[in-house]
Structures are given as structure tokens and as C-alpha cells.
Structure 1
Amino acid sequence: MLSLLVTLLITFHFFISWWRHHRRYRSLPPGPTPLPFLGTPKYMNMQKADKSYASLSQKYGPIFTIWMLSEPMVVLCGYETVRDALVNHAEEFSARPIIPTLDFPTNGYNVNGPRWRNIRRFIISSLRTIGMGKKTMESRVLEEATYVNQLVSEMEGKPFNPMLILSCAVGNIMSSVLFGEHFDYKDPKFHDLMMRTSRHLRAILTPLYMICNIFPFLLKLPILPNIIFKEQFYLQKFVLKYIEEHKRTLNPEAPRDFIDHYLLKTKEVEHEEDPDFCVSSLPYTVVGLLSAGSETTASTLKFILVFIAHYPDVQVKVQKEIDEVTQSLRPPTFEDRAQMPYTHAVIHEIQRILDLVSTAFFHSVTKDVQLHGYTIPKGTTIIPFLTSVLYDPSQWETPEQFNPEHFLDGEGQFRNRGAFMPFSAGKRVCAGENLARMMLFLLFSALLQKFTLKLPPGAEPHESKWLYANKNEIIMNTELCAIPRTLATK
């Protein structure tokens, strides 16, 4: 009798739990049926998100639901849906979900709410003060372009992998902005720093990270955090040395870089009971900016260089435009974009084809929100599927093909496209977007001014679809030949 009563109580408990769960989420968008307690594990592999989400959107439409265990995750597809959420409902979709592997090493600092807003506002303001988008920053990028061209010339036209050189160039730009350091390109310690930065960012997509996000109690095991966060802890320790040095040499009248600006801000708010800015949060703030800014920009630039080598006719047209604007007498500048619309369009179009990050970093909603006839409950995780925007057939004339005309108007002038969202959109758009755009344009145009990029002997040229499908291999391992150009001054 007692065992029967216990069984009935347990059954009743599960029924009530299921009923409450179903009632809360019954107005969510459709999607694959979740397995009890497991959700939809088939669609949780972020390394294959582009294929699985594209398949689901064909079946369920531009907005659908997948499940991580018993928690829903709403995926947004296509330009109109993503823009409606991130831009038209920017405030409601501005939060971040709780992600254990991100909260653990940072103690949950600066992810959401007023603190996040204040820190983000400060980051953008500080970067602008340091010179982002100004001549001071441009001179730094052009200086690195000179180093890059010098190192490339030393290859004497032989096959080489430019990834390390590009990583060092972008890494030096970010290092100068963040902690005022410039490294020797041939310094093994600098190479190690760049490799660790790359591994730190790529680790986020590994199965171990996903398992720890599903079962966060694993992070309490004594050994696992030192394994999973090995690179992040190393980078934070590396940055901490610069922070201590900056504290000793800080001049309030002449801040040198981001760390100086942050330290001055901590002094400004130190009287507050729970300040948004504290020295203990500075290491992982700097590591986050260094990792995101270095790896993504260097990877994008490497893909652009390999891509242009597969399209020699496009490369010739870009070089002709560069030569006409600079008269072969000076390096291209950021202001030259207006006179170099084709070059500008080619960079954007290859970046669109690349689609480096298939999904924007996860969002969550700040309150119950209506979207396309569905009610999304407060706290629900949102996944903006950026691939579906960059390849949206309603926005691009030939979405599957490489076509610089996507970014040119009828008069051959550059035109912005709303569906160009490699940096995401809305309140969580990449804070370093302007700096990334500057680095891509200046480093790319400086290289093509001095060199013609060719495939190694025996390598076959491929179309854009093949290049997209093999983008990871291209970024990490593909070699190029850089043939010095003979420039005629005009």
C-alpha cells in the first residue's frame, strides 16, 4: 500500500511538472519533438549548426525551437527575422543566457544588466579615445602592414602559410591598443601567445565545453577547470603582468592604452559599494578583447587572401584600382575606401561568403516577448543564425555565388547592405567592428599593392562553394605564393 502511494505521488509530481512546463512553453515556435530529459541532442552540435539549422528552417520556417535537456532554445533564421529581433526589438533581445563555461572563469562578471551596459559603453568609448577609426589607429595598422610586407617579401615567391604572420600583425595591433606592447614577429613567445589565443577561442565549440554547459556541476571537480580553462588561465596570468606594471607607471594625465583607461576608471568609482569596474575583472576583460579581436580578424584575412588567389581576374581588377588611387607612390589609407569601391566590395563579398561564425553569440530575452505570432518567455535562449542572413535569397541576387556586385550600385559605387551581418547586429554587435574593418581593408590592400597572390604549383583553382566548404582547412593550413609586383609610378 505504501509503495503504491509513493508511486502515485511520484507520478503526480512528474505530471504536474510536465503540465507546468508545457503550459509555460506552449506558445513557443514549432520544432523537432524533444526527447524526455534529453531535449534534441541531434541539433546541439554547434560545429555543424549551419547544416542542421538550415535543414530545420526548411521544415519549420524562419523561427523554430530546439531543446537542451528541458530548456528551449529559439533559433532565428533569415534577414527579416533576425533584424526584427535584434534591431526592432533590440532591448528585449539584448540579454545573455547563463553559460557555465563563461561564468566560471569570470565569476559571472559583466554578462548582463546595467553592469554589462556600463562596461560595454566604457569599452567602446575607450577604444574611440585610443584612436579606433582615427588617424592614430590607422598609423598603427599601416605600421604593421609594412612589417607584413617585409616578411612576405622574404618568402621570395615560394609557397608559405601566411596565417602566423597575419596573426602576429593583428595580435600586435590589439596588443598596442590593450596594453601598449609591440612584439617581434619572430619571437617564439609571441608565437606561443597567438597560438594560445587561437586555442582559447576555438575551445568554446568543443564537446567538453558543451558537456560542462549541460552539466555545470562538473566544473566543481578539482581537476577539470584547469584542463578546460588552461589557455584562458594562462592568458589571464599573462595579462596580469602588464596590469601590475601599468599600476606602477600609471600617469592619470596621459593614459597610454586600454589598461590605463580601465585603471583610471576603477579609481573613479572605488568609493561605490559595488562598482561595475574593479581591477579583479580587468584580466578577463582584456583577454576577451584580445581573443575575439585577434583570432577572428586574422582568420578572415587569411581566407580573403586565399580566396582572391582563386580568382586572378578579380585580383587584377583590385590591383588596378589600388594603383590608380595611390599612383603607386604611397600605401592605401582608410579614406581611400571611397575611391576604391571595387576593392571595398570584394572584401565584403568574400567576408559574406566566408561566414566565419555561423551563429551569433547566444542571446536571451529580458521579458516575455511577441515575435512573429509566438510568445517567447523571459529568459529563453535565442540563437541568431547568421549564415541564413548572409545567404538569404531574398536579400542577395546570387547568394551561393561569389559576386562583388552585391555591394556595388548601378554606378559602380560601394553600397552597404543591411543583410551583411558578420559582426551580428543590435545592442550586442561586435564592439570592435570598426577596428576589424580597418585592419581588413588596410592589410589586404597593402599586400595586393606589393604582391600578386597565386596558388602553389600544382594546386587547382576552385569556386566559392568549395572554398566555403573547406574554410577551416584553408584558414589553418593552406599555402600561398606571393609574387612581388613591378610597380610603375605615374
Structure 2
Amino acid sequence: MESLSILTLFFIFLLTLLFLSSLWRQQKRSHVLPPGPTPVPLLGTPNYLYRDGILRYYPEFHKKYGKMFTLWQMTDPVVVLCGYETVKDALINHTEQFSDRPLYPALDSYTKGFNFLSSNNHWRLFRRFILMTLRNVGLGKRSLEEKSLKEAELLVEAVSEMGAKSFNPTQLLSSAVTNAIGTILFGQRLDYKDQKLLDLISHIRKHSDNIFSAKQQICNMFPVLLKLPYLGQIIMKNSLCLVAYVREQLDFHKETLDLFAPPRDFIDHFLLKIKEEKGNKDSKFCDTSLIMFISSILAAGSDSTTATLKYCLAIIARFPHIQAKVQREIDDVTGSQRPPGMSDRARMPYTNAVIHELQRHLDLAPAGFYRSLTQDIAFRGYTLPKGTRILPYLSSVLFDPSQWETPDEFNPGHFLDEKGQFRAKPAFMVFSAGKRECLGVSLARMEIFLFFSALLQKFSLCPTTGAQMDMKSLRFNKRTIIQSWEICAIPRSSHTD
């Protein structure tokens, strides 16, 4: 009994020591960091660091603390950057210093470090290779655009089969987007009713959910848990089906690869690179890196583009006067005989502006992925130590009143000049910015423009679910809109030929 009391006292003493040590370290480090809400020793400010916390608290913190504020992930500070000028200064003007990532132990353990969130130098090597390979397989060229235009026509046919009835277009959009990416990666497209395509879409969604799940976040915070037997396999269970699908594609390509013929797709290019570096014992090109990066491309490209398209269609259905103006522009440029192509985009400034304004209001990623400083830096009045976690608050850029005339309203004029021509806005950071900008930005922009334009050319969209809301309410309900809202697609019977 006495030994139990001594043990209890020891643990109380140890916890007190840890508490005081954490409090002392936080107070010491706080002197060189931007202000922020007071952290709880050992725990930090955990309720502010996740999605719901970002939507709920960050606007208030932005007003209270200014362009930068500090939150705490347990005993590690996270500096949040707010507003266009601050985010631009960090991600573009000081792009190299803000280009690292913090450790994601759960993800790194599963992918062996081959992922776009990695803090090692692999990402530079693979980013260059992947961008070059995407261009080699047709990105930015007419050949890939023609395949995407064909996919857009098939999407229009699938929507036509709904017969002007209320339906949720998410599955059809996901099928079209996944096929567009699959054509690049695997050199194949699948019918929208093909069980293989439906399974792939399901695998991608489960993988994406798994990467951002609470169990992964807990393992990232307490990486010692990953040393427990089988835990790593358990937390990545929902990603294994996607890996198995990609491995099946890899095995097929290995069996059918023709060294004397032009590469068929992304996998062929990657396999040829593996063969090229076969004698290099330090090469990072291997089956594992191929599988992990293709899985990442599928997850990052399919879900985000599908969500963007669904939101665009659901919202434009609630603005019939804007929708009609887009349709008139499409009719004037292409008529009804062919869908709009990328070469038409310059002659469709209003359509392009509407798409950009829809994406701005969607605000799909309110905060970018964590960055990490590569060195100590004096930044906007503070001395930030090497390794400090940085969180770009992208919502504050997309709704910065210094950059947008009417930030809280839906106003395509934000992207039009006085002559009605499209104008790019540097504060349009929906794909983040700098050296860690979204890798598939060019592909996503092409798919969104081609699919959105093709659908509005053939259909007038009407809302069938969801109460009337202002734009702010729509934005805060975007997850429900993307997942479950339905629309009605009425064929346009008469427009300019």
C-alpha cells in the first residue's frame, strides 16, 4: 500500500514537472512569436487547429491579432498567416524559406516518404519529374484536350439520361474526372457503369478520408504509437484497396511494356525511368515510389476537382440570370455544334470569370497544408525559428477586402476589367502558391472549364434541394452541398447554331 502511494506521488510529481516545463518553454518561445490565444500547457490549442476550428475561430483571430497569430499543437507553435500581402510575402517572396513541410509520421511510415507532404528532398525530385511527365503525356497539348472533350461529351450524354429529373450529379462528375486522370496515368477510360470505375472512385474517397482521419492526426502527434505492432497497418487499412488497384495497373504495364514503342501513359514513363536508373543504388525511382505518387495524384486530383464542379453546378443553378449570360456567351462563340475548347476560353471572358468566382466562393481549402521554415527568418517584425510550422489561412486571401471589391458577394466582375475582358487576380490562391502549389493545377483548370462549359451549353440548371441562403451561408454549408444537393438539368431546346 505504501509503495502504491509512493508511485502515485511520483506520477503526480512527474506530471507537475512536465506541466511547468511546458509552460516555461511556451512562455519563452512566445516572446519571439506573433500573439495568439493562450495555450494550455502540454495540450496547446488543439480545438483551433482542425477544419471546424478554422471556419469558426480564424476570422475572429484575424480581427483580434492581425496579419499573423500563433496557435499551439501541444508544445509546438503554429504561426497562421492572414491576408494577401502576408501570404504572398511568405509563399512567393520568400518561397524557399517557406517551402519545407513538418513531419507527418503516419503518412511517411506508410508511404516510405514518397508523398507530396513529405519533409525530405524527394518532393523536389519527383515534382520536377511528374511535371515533365505530365507534359510528355499531353498536358497542355491538343491530344489530351481532345480526350477530355470526348469525356465531356460522354458526361453530357449521361446527364441527358436523367431526363430532366432531380438528381445528384456527384457520381457522374466523379466518373468523368477520374476517367480524365485515369487516361493520363493508366492510358484507359472506363464506362460510367463499369464496376471497376465505381470501385476505383470508392477506393479514392476512402483513401482521402483516411489521410485526414482523426486516428492519423493522433499518430502524427504521438508518433511513438506507430511502434505498436500492427497499428500502422490498421490506420492505413482504408488505403490498401487503392494501392492494390494501382499495383494491378503496374503489373499489367510491366508485362506489356514495349521498350521500342512510345510510352503509352504516365506509368510507362515511370517504368522507363526506373530502368534508366537501375544501376544507381541511391535512386528513388522504384515500384513503391510509383505506387505511392500515383495514389497521391488520384486522391488529390479526383476528389478536389469533383467537389469543385459539383459546387459550381449547384450554385450556378441558383443564379439563373448569370447562368443565362454564360450560355449566351457560349452560344456566340461555339454555337451548339461543338463543345467549347481551351482555345475558346480567351473569347469567353465572362464564363471564365464566373468559374473563377465560383471557385473563390467555394473556398475548398480554407487553410493550406502546413509549411515549415527551412531556416531562421526575420519576417514582418518577428524572428521565426527554423522548423516553425506555418499555416497559410487562404480564406483570408480569397476574401481580403483589399483585393476584392465586394468580397462577400458573388461578383464575376472581380475577374473582369473595364472592357469586359478576363483579368487574372494574384489573390486567387485556391491552389495555394509558391513551390508547393498544387501539382495538378493545369489539369484541374482544364477539366473544370471543359466540363462546366459543356454542361451549360446543353442544359439549363435548376436547384431542387437546399433552402435559400446568402453566399456566406452557402460557403459554410459547402460539404452538404457537395455531398447531397440535387439539381435538375433541363435540355436547352433552342440556342444559336
Given that 1:31 and 1:66 are in contact with CA atoms closer than 8 Å, whether structure 2 keeps it comes out as yes
TM-score, L = length of structure 1: 0.94
1:315 and 2:320 correspond: no
SS of residue in 1 equivalent to 2:383: strand
CA RMSD of aligned residues (A): 2.4
- Residues 137 and 263 (structure 1), Cα distance of their counterparts in 2 relative to 1, 3 Å cut: same
Note closer, same or farther for the CA distance 1:239–1:9 as it changes in structure 2 (3 Å cut): closer
For residue 3 of structure 2, what is the aligned residue in structure 1?
none
Query: What is aligned with 1:147?
Result: 154
* Partners of 2:13 and 2:422 in 1: CA distance: 69
Is the CA contact (8 Å cut-off) linking 1:75 and 1:383 kept in structure 2? yes
Cα deviation, residue 224, structure 1: 3.6
- Return the offset for 1:17: 7.6
Q: How many angstroms does 1:408 deviate by?
A: 0.3
Give the partner amino acid of 2:178.
G
Aligned to 1:380: 388
SS class of match (1:67)? strand
Q: Deviations over 1:177-210 (max 9, x none)?
A: 1111211100233212212212321333332222
Per-residue CA deviation, residues 34-53 of structure 1 (Å, 9 max, x unaligned), is 11111112312233312222
Q: Distance in 2 between matches of 1:16 and 1:350?
A: 48
Q: Aligned-pair distance for 1:115?
A: 2.4
Query: What is the percentage of aligned positions where both structures have the same residue?
Result: 51
Higher mean alpha-carbon deviation, 51-60 vs 405-414, is at: 51-60
Of residues 158, 182, 185 in structure 1, which corresponds to 2:189?
A: 182
Per the TM alignment, residue 21 of structure 1 is displaced from its structure 2 partner at its CA by 6.2
Aligned pair partner of 1:439 in 447, 450, 470: 447
- State the secondary structure of the residue aligned to 1:382: strand
Aligned residue number for residue 67 of structure 2? 62
Distance 1:331 1:12 in 2: 68
Is the Cα–Cα contact under 8 Å of residues 210 and 239 in structure 2 kept in the other structure?
no
The match for 1:132 is: 139
- Check the 8 A contact 1:367/1:377 in 2, yes or no: yes
Return the offset for 1:376: 1.1
Letter in 2 for 1:85: A
Residue in 1 that maps onto 2:411:
403
Q: Which residue of 2 aligns with 1:419?
A: 427
The runs of 5 or more residues in structure 1 that have no matched partner are none
Is 1:254 the counterpart of 2:262? The answer is yes
Q: 1:328 to 1:209 in 2, by over 3 A?
A: same
Give the Cα–Cα distance (whole angstroms) in 2 for the partners of residues 17 and 326 of structure 1: 65
Name the CA distance, whole Å, in 2 between partners of 1:150 and 1:365. Answer: 49
List gaps (5 residues or longer) in structure 2.
1-5
State the alpha-carbon separation in 1 of the partners of residues 451 and 70 from structure 2.
Answer: 41
Measure the CA separation in 2 of the matches of 1:460 and 1:39.
38
Measure the CA separation in 2 of the matches of 1:201 and 1:349: 26
Equivalent of 2:350 in 332, 335, 342: 342
CA offsets per residue over residues 108-151 of structure 1, 9 Å max, x none?
23523442211100011110111112111111111111111111
Q: For 2:371 and 2:169, locate their aligned partners in 1 and report how far apart those are by CA, in whole Å.
A: 34
When the two structures are aligned, how many residues end up with a matched partner? Answer: 487
8 Å contact kept, 1:310–1:463: no
Contact 1:157 1:483 in 2 (8 A): yes
SS at structure 1 position matched to 2:167: coil
Q: Distance in 2 between matches of 1:146 and 1:15?
A: 65
Q: CA deviation at 1:306?
A: 0.5
Report the alpha carbon displacement of residue 56 of structure 1 after superposing the two structures with TM: 1.3
Separation in 2, partners of 1:9, 1:203:
35
**Cα-to-partner distance string for 1:288-334 (whole Å, 9 max, x where unaligned):** 00110000001100000000100000000000000000022211101
Task: Return the letter of the residue paired with 2:132.
Answer: S
Give the counterpart letter for 2:100 in structure 1: A
d(CA) in 2 for partners of 1:397, 1:282: 45
| Partner Cα separation in structure 2 for residue 163 and residue 203 of structure 1 | 20
Q: Does 1:469 align with 2:476?
A: yes
Separation in structure 1 between the aligned mates of residue 79 and residue 388 of structure 2, nearest angstrom: 7
Q: TM-score, normalised by structure 2?
A: 0.93
Runs of at least 4 residues of structure 1 off by over 4 A?
6-25, 458-461
CA contact (8 A) 1:24 1:377 kept: no
**CA displacement, residues 43-68 of structure 1 (integer Å, 9 cap, x when unaligned):** 12233312222221111111111111
Distance apart, 1:12 and its partner CA: 8.9
Distance 1:38 1:155, change over 3 A: same
